[in-house]
Amino acid sequence: MAVRFTIDACDGSARLGRLQTPHGVAPTPIFMPVGTRATVKGVTPDQLRSAGAQIILGNTYHLALRPRDEIIRDLGGLHRFMAWDGPILTDSGGYQVFSLSGLRRVSDEGVVFRSHVDGQRLELTPERAVQIQENLGSDIAMCLDECPTTEASPEILRDAVRRSILWARRCRDAHRRTDQALFGIVQGGLDLDLRRHCAEDLAAFDFPGYALGGFSVGESPDQMHQALPDCAPMLPANKPRYLMGVGRPEDILAAVAAGIDMFDCVLPTRNGRNASAFTMTGSLRLRNARHRGDPTPLEADCPCYTCRNFSRAYLHHLFQVDEMLGPTLLSIHNIAFYLRLTAEIRAAILEKQFDNYRASFLSKQQFDRSRKS
């Protein structure tokens, strides 16, 4: 198999494991920085490694448009193209069915997009989604799925589940690379019966890993937190479980408690570009005037490059004068924060202290609401 998953310890439903891929081993629970267009925004591969990143993401839809998956294939694959020698997971374009709903048409055959770049037609069938990801050469590829909004009608939800199962079968039949794992994606919104039906049908395909899609698409955090303890056990216990696109620290903790192993989210770099830093005691808004003369780092005990070298005052200055280094330094810190968080979660699971760790973390969270300068 292209990937192997081992569970080394459990604390309640929380799992400590290892995901072995052709490009290395990632400990789980693991956070995966998002590199949509073959780059984690504003951060070099060396900076990612120094921050502790072990597996990152790429995007099927965006890379098929630019530069095109055939070009990446001819240049040696995505790992060589972006100079990242660790594991890579590529999503299938299913999220763009949700995020670009005004630019696509969905049928049982697949999805036809009108490119957000130049309006040209891009047809994404299950077979084409697999072909693109095989051309990219990622370690883990995802089945094409239909991701509806939480507000979708029961009829739309049922049709999305039916179609996602149909497409998963076609993806499985089209997949050829033996050095690449193909994961299935369970849809169904907040309807647990639909989720269970989708999970049971996909389990019959015996994918090497499974994801929960269709969260963080309009539901409240409380709704997601309530659903996860029921949804996670629907996925095979001996396979890696991946919660797609969900990444607030409190959401990760809730998902780990439910038995989820893998996470991705754009928040570390998106918030970094918007002068917001994650810390173990809450978020900081670096544009706020209170940071103007502050000589302290973002976090005194954070080992990242940003905290070892720069003050809050300097970071505040960079954002005040619109220097591009500001978003880069905050993105480095935020990625390191997420990777430190998941490392601490793993240690807590090993010590049978996860519930205590979660409660302690949440009790320390505060928010920086000081006035802006």
Tokens at residue 91, please? 């999503």
Which residues does 367 contact at the CB level (< 8 Å), separation at least 6? Answer: 282, 283
Q: Inter-axis angle of helices 249-258 and 354-364, to 10 degrees?
A: 160
Catalytic residue among 69, 91, 139, 201: 91
User: How crowded is residue 322: how many other Cβ atoms within 10 Å of its Cβ?
Assistant: 8
Q: Annotated catalytic, 264? A: yes
Tokens at residue 197, please? 């039906």
Distance, in Å, from the CA atom of 108 to the CA atom of 96, rounded to the nearest integer, reads 16
User: How crowded is residue 23: how many other Cβ atoms within 10 Å of its Cβ?
Assistant: 18
Catalytic residue among 11, 69, 261, 264: 264
Question: How does strand 140-142 pair with strand 181-186?
Answer: parallel
Distance, in Å, from the CA atom of 252 to the CA atom of 360, rounded to the nearest integer, reads 15
Tokens at residue 73, please? 């294939």
Q: Annotated catalytic, 108? A: no
Distance, in Å, from the CA atom of 130 to the CA atom of 137, rounded to the nearest integer, reads 10
User: How crowded is residue 354: how many other Cβ atoms within 10 Å of its Cβ?
Assistant: 26
Q: Is 177 exposed, middle or buried (0-12, 13-18, 19+ CB in 10 A)?
A: middle
Residues in the chain: 373
Residues forming the active site: 91, 264
